[in-house]
Structure 1
Amino acid sequence: MVINPATTSGAAVIHNLMIQAFLEYKHETPPSSALDESVQSVSDALGKGEKALIAYEENQPVGMVRFRLKNEGLNFYRLSVIPEKQGLGIAKELLKSLEDYANKAELSTILCKVRMTVQKNIQLYSSLGYAVYDEEVVHKPNGMNIKVVSMEKKL
């Protein structure tokens, strides 16, 4: 597997990977807002300082993670692995690459938010040394509320 930093030209690949991975949350209440994003919104975010890593197997994109650098930390989101490749360690490799990136940037913490209903992601991050440090309810514009945990890993 090869993991490369993305540029704005990778927005369509990032969007495609994200939509494939997040379709499983289509029937959540509310559905993931990732499904509302467009190639243009991903491209715009990359143009405004967002960063991303894309994982490739045999030159085919299989996963990605988006992130921003904030103060002393790296905040990641939309970690995505295509359904047929989930459970094979790709997410763990992407997270290891994020740690390498954070270490090179001399950042001390990696952070993320996870829906409380997605226990498999909380368990994955916990197995890699992340700990829950906060719980909150996110109020969406459509009036829906989502319970999330904030997780962090100290480097």
Structure 2
Amino acid sequence: MLIETQDAALLHHIMQQAFAEYRHDASPSSALDESIDSIKLELHNGMRAFVWQHQQQTVAMVKTQWRQDVLYFARLAVLPSFRGQGHVKHLLAALAKLALTHGYTAMECKVRAEVSRNVALYQGLGFVCVASETVHKENGTAVPTLTMRKALRESMNNPF
């Protein structure tokens, strides 16, 4: 079940657990730099966040920006012990249904190009690469990044 939340501590907890595997990368995910206060500020400034519950347990989260032409999502995070169980697909399908009810026709995210399993995950859900860029982090590290987009179907029963 997709539930909108303002619980910055819960969002932070899930994000830290999910992105911990990148802590020792040459260029660790900036998700690890986020704090409860930074998430509260984002929520205050219009970012909307959702959690995914399975059997009354919160197992995933996602941040969203409802832009004029597309629903952009970021920091999609699944607790490690719940990965590989279809939660990303179900969360994104529920988010797509919500987006369609508000007149959105596409969803978009950015993915690190070198994390091939994430690129493959989104491609398997019908997302296509629409842009490629190199993001330069504060420490000077270059991070190749793909923008991936999915057109949403009008069918509310199966937007994917």
Q: Same fold (TM over 0.5)?
A: yes
Counterparts of 1:68-79 in structure 2, within 5 Å, are: 68-79=65-76
Q: 2:109 — aligned with what?
A: 112
Gaps in structure 1 of 5+ consecutive residues: none
TM-score norm. by structure 2 comes to: 0.91
Show CA shifts across 1:5-57 (max 9, x none).
Answer: 112xx111011000000001112221000000001111110111001110123
Among 45, 51, 56, which residue is 1:59 paired with?
A: 56
Show CA shifts across 1:48-104 (max 9, x none).
Answer: 100111012343211011110111101101000000000001111111122112101
* Total equivalences in the alignment: 152
In structure 1, C-alpha distance between the alignment counterparts of 2:2 and 2:150, rounded to whole Å: 21
The one-letter code sitting in structure 1 at the alignment partner of 2:131 is D
In structure 2, C-alpha distance between the alignment counterparts of 1:140 and 1:111, rounded to whole Å: 21
In structure 2, C-alpha distance between the alignment counterparts of 1:11 and 1:59, rounded to whole Å: 19
In structure 1, C-alpha distance between the alignment counterparts of 2:134 and 2:19, rounded to whole Å: 20
TM-score norm. by structure 1 comes to: 0.94
The one-letter code sitting in structure 1 at the alignment partner of 2:17 is Q
Query: 4+ residue stretches of structure 1 with deviation over 3 A?
Result: none
> How big is the alpha-carbon RMSD for the aligned residues of Structure 1 and Structure 2?
1.0
The one-letter code sitting in structure 1 at the alignment partner of 2:97 is D
Whether 1:141 aligns to 2:124 is no
Which shifted more, 109-118 or 56-65? 56-65
The one-letter code sitting in structure 2 at the alignment partner of 1:4 is I
SS at match of 2:122: helix
Q: 1:150 — aligned with what?
A: 147
Whether 1:96 aligns to 2:93 is yes
CA drift at 1:137: 0.3
SS at match of 1:100: helix
The one-letter code sitting in structure 1 at the alignment partner of 2:132 is E
Whether 1:126 aligns to 2:123 is yes
Q: 2:3 — aligned with what?
A: 4
In structure 2, C-alpha distance between the alignment counterparts of 1:28 and 1:149, rounded to whole Å: 18
Q: 1:39 — aligned with what?
A: 36
In structure 2, C-alpha distance between the alignment counterparts of 1:113 and 1:54, rounded to whole Å: 19
Gaps in structure 2 of 5+ consecutive residues: 153-160
Which shifted more, 75-84 or 135-144? 135-144
